[in-house]
Copies of this chain bind each other. A is one copy, B any other.
Amino acid sequence: MAAPVPSMELLARMRRGDRVALGRLISRAETGLEEARAVLSEVYRTAGRAHVVGITGVPGSGKSTLVGKLVERIRADGRRVAVIAIDPSSPYSGGAILGDRIRMTDLALDPGVFIRSMATRGSTGGLARAALAAADLLDASGFDLIVIETVGVGQDEVEIARASHTTIVVSAPGLGDDVQALKAGMLEIADIHVVSKCDRADANRTLADLKSMLALAASLAEAPLWQVPVVATSSQTGQGIGELAATVDQHRSVQQSTALGEVRQRHIAEYRALKTAEDLLRSRFAASGNVHLAALVERISRREIDPLAAAEALLNTTAF
The interface of chain A, by Cβ under 8 A from chain B, is 37, 40-41, 44-48, 58-60, 87-93, 95, 97, 99-100, 120, 122, 124, 129, 132, 151, 153-159, 176-179, 181-182, 184-185, 187-189, 262, 265-266, 269-270, 272-282, 285, 293, 296-298, 300-301, 303-312, 314-316, 320
Residues of B within 8 A of A293 (CB): 270, 273-274
Given contacts A301-B266, A309-B41, contact A153 B154 (CB under 8 A): yes
* Cβ B45 vs Cβ A276 within 8 A: no
* Cβ A296 vs Cβ B282 within 8 A: no
* Cβ A129 vs Cβ B307 within 8 A: yes
Residues of B within 8 A of A89 (CB): 184-185
Given contacts A97-B184, A282-B278, contact A41 B154 (CB under 8 A): no
* Cβ A155 vs Cβ B266 within 8 A: no
- The interface residues of chain A, by DSSP majority, are classed as helix
Partner of A44, one of B265, B277, B307: B307
Residues of B within 8 A of A45 (CB): 303-306
Q: Can you identify 20 A-B contacts, CB atoms within 8 angstroms?
A: A59-B59, A88-B185, A91-B158, A91-B185, A92-B188, A97-B181, A97-B184, A99-B178, A99-B181, A153-B154, A266-B301, A269-B297, A269-B300, A270-B300, A273-B300, A275-B307, A276-B311, A279-B311, A280-B308, A280-B311
With A91-B185, A129-B307, A278-B282 known, 4 other A-B pairs at CB within 8 A are A90-B188, A97-B184, A265-B301, A278-B281
Residues of B within 8 A of A274 (CB): 282, 285, 293, 311, 314
* Cβ A320 vs Cβ B316 within 8 A: yes
Q: Which 6 A-B pairs have the closest CB atoms?
A: A154-B154, A153-B153, A269-B300, A276-B311, A44-B306, A272-B307
Docked pose: A303 CA to B129 CA in angstroms: 16
Docked pose: A298 CA to B270 CA in angstroms: 9
